[in-house]
């Protein structure tokens, strides 16, 4: 396993708590600590996924979201080329590297984030804003044969607390991720992307439905129930919208 080399790539049975009840930790509000930061700390200390991620050497609790989606939908296979958009601190890249066997040089994982990321075995890291005009060319130049089998996007801009603004920002990232996926995915490829409750925007969903055999909205158990996040899992890439053979479409 990548990272600290401890994880087996799966949480223990019956969820990350291994079926055992965790002792609840209470955090007192010290003079210097605000009530909201005490609440955040208490939630972290009592979150079985945070505890399991630490124990298994995963860089984020988010790693379990991809793990759960992959266990259910068999997204990642040995030898595949994967792009991980918004990869820091690297939980999803760890799972991808383990499952496509990029550590053994079989598959490939290319990860991008504007935040710095510690090196990770089997992962090629690009520190760049995905919206940078050079980002797409850079990623394509790094991918074997210039293409990918799986495009993952867990990109999220920092929330401002204004629901409509946060929704618009995450959907703009999802749309750029989708159009990048249309450009790089090989036939049969998969696109996994964070969206917001209410699902993918109607226009984007229409395009995805035309371009992929199956499009699902998934809320993995590791995604907090009080979070509006959701993932779109699109499998069986059929080609970029508008790329149909003109002779075929007139038949
Ligand atoms: C929820 S975190 C990803 C967690 C990651 N999947 C993991 O398992 O460790 C979202 C990431 O998206 C990144 N991000 C947001 N907008 C981005 C952009 N325009 N370009 C690159 N990265 C971006 C953020 O910096 C952040 O690290």
Q: Is the CB of residue 67 below 6 angstroms from any atom belonging to ligand 1?
A: no
User: Atom 23 (ligand 1): residue with closest C-alpha?
Assistant: 86
For every residue of 190-251, DSSP letters joined together read EEEEEEETT-S-HHHHHHHHHHEEEEEEE--TTS-TTS-EEEEEEEEE---TT-S-HHHHT-
- 76 CA from centroid of ligand 1 (Å): 20
CATH architecture of 63-237: 3-Layer(aba) Sandwich (3.40)
- Asked if residues 211 and 241 have their Cβ atoms less than 8 Å apart, the reply is yes
Q: Using one digit for the tens of pLDDT, what is the confidence trace for 178-227?
A: 999 999 999 999 999 999 876 667 888 999 999 999 999 999 999 999 88
Which atom belonging to ligand 1 lies closest to the Cα atom of 60? 9
The pTM of this model reads 0.86
The pLDDT of 5-21, averaged and rounded, is 46
Give the residues across from 83 on adjacent strands: 110, 151
pLDDT at 245: 54
pLDDT for 31 beyond 90: no
Which is it for strands 148-153 and 108-113: parallel, antiparallel or unpaired?
A: unpaired
Q: Using one digit for the tens of pLDDT, what is the confidence trace for 44-71?
A: 778 899 999 999 999 999 999 999 999 9
- Residues with active-site annotation: 194
**Domain assignments of the chain as residue spans, ordered by start:** 63-237
- 90 CA from centroid of ligand 1 (Å): 9
Of the pLDDT bands very low, low, confident and very high (cuts 50, 70, 90), residue 13 is very low
């Amino acid at each position: 396993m990548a990272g600290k080399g401890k994880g087996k790539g799966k949480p223990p049975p019956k969820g990350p708590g291994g079926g055992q009840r965790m002792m609840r930790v209470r955090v007192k509000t010290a003079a210097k600590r605000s009530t909201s930061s005490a609440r955040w700390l208490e939630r972290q200390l009592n979150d079985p996924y945070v505890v399991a991620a630490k124990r298994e050497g995963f860089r984020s609790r988010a790693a379990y979201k991809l793990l759960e989606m992959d266990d259910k939908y068999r997204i990642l296979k040995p030898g595949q080329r994967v792009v991980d958009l918004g990869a820091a601190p690297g939980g999803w890249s760890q799972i991808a590297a383990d499952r496509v066997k990029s550590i053994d040089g079989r598959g490939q994982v290319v990860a991008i984030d504007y935040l710095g990321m510690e090196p990770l075995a089997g992962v090629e890291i690009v520190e760049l804003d995905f919206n940078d005009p050079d980002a797409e060319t850079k990623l394509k130049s790094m991918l074997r044969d210039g293409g990918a089998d799986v495009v993952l996007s867990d990109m999220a801009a920092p929330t401002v607390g204004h629901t409509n603004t946060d929704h618009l920002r995450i959907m703009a990232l999802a749309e750029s991720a989708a159009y990048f996926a249309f450009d790089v995915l090989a036939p049969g490829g998969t696109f996994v992307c964070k969206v917001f409750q209410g699902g993918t925007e109607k226009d984007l969903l229409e395009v995805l439905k035309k371009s992929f055999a199956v499009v699902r909205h998934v809320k993995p158990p590791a995604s907090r129930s009080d979070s509006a996040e959701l993932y779109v899992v699109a499998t069986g890439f059929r080609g970029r919208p508008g790329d149909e053979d003109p002779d075929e479409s007139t038949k």
